[in-house]
Amino acid sequence: MRSRRQRDEFFWLRAVGCATAAALSITILVADGIGTAFLLLVGIAVLVVAFPWQRLTTLKAGPFEMSLEHGQIKAVVDSIEIEGDARKRLMALLARLKGDIELARGGRILWVDDKPRRVVAERRLLRALQIETVMVPISRDAAETLRRDNDFDLVITSLYKGRERRETGLHTDGRRPGVLFVQWLRGDTDEDPVICEIYGEAIADKVVNNLPVIFYVAGVEMEKLKQAIRPVAEMEPGVDLTQRMEEFLAKTIRLVADARADPIAVPAEKVLF
């Protein structure tokens, strides 16, 4: 079911179409008589009313093309409830990222968060952009997922994971669970008893070891966050840290687009042609 905003916008599109048809018919009436004008008016009015405007994304006429606000970008924004200036900023952001969005389609993200309901709006936006998110509650589950399936373009993780700390009951020498997970992800486990106890063997998979990572944490001072992720801040590839939805979406879309633009090598023995 369409929202009231969507219905209003489609009403005005049809109203503009009808007004255009009326103006054209009056012009023809003056030039060619009432019969032709009346038939033309009826035909155009039926077309305007019946046309599925909600599916229209662009209008083209020869070399000219006009994008419509109620196209793909608006449909994505309509997937969440957001109003006012925040909605306008999000629309503008997605418009700027149009090229990256095209590249990012079909991407896959592994998302580690023990409170997935807190990020349902972000996940819904990404799904509307045809970017899949695979949610896991704790880092151990994420590690097992990556051992089974390395076909991901990005890892998003929280930093604190209170549930994980309670369930493992392990002494982490002050490092946050998200930091320990990234250290394991980068293969930094051989001489680290804490990481070895949590995750077991290191993962020797270059695709996994080089996955980009975003720490997405809200409600904590940025300086405290920077201090918390210091053990992995200088690792290669680097990690991103963000708190605001707009910044998070921009970084996520760009990183997935970059990953999708970098082709996966196919072993020579598998090449068919």
Q: Provide the residue range defining the domain that includes 211.
A: 97-261
Domain assignment present for 170: yes
Instruction: Please state, rounded to an integer, the average pLDDT across all residues of the chain.
Output: 78
- Is this structure's pTM higher than 0.85? no
pLDDT at 210 over 90: yes
pLDDT at 42: 63
Task: Say whether both 161 and 244 belong to one domain.
Answer: yes
pLDDT at 64: 45
Cα 24 to chain centroid, rounded: 43
pLDDT at 107 over 90: yes
- Of the candidates 268, 252, 260, 170, the one whose C-alpha atom is nearest the C-alpha of residue 215 is 252
Q: How many domains does the chain have?
A: 2
Task: Say whether both 40 and 158 belong to one domain.
Answer: no
pLDDT at 160 over 90: no
**What value does the mean pLDDT take over residues 12-28?**
61
Domain assignment present for 209: yes
Q: Count of CB atoms within 10 A of residue 259's CB?
A: 21
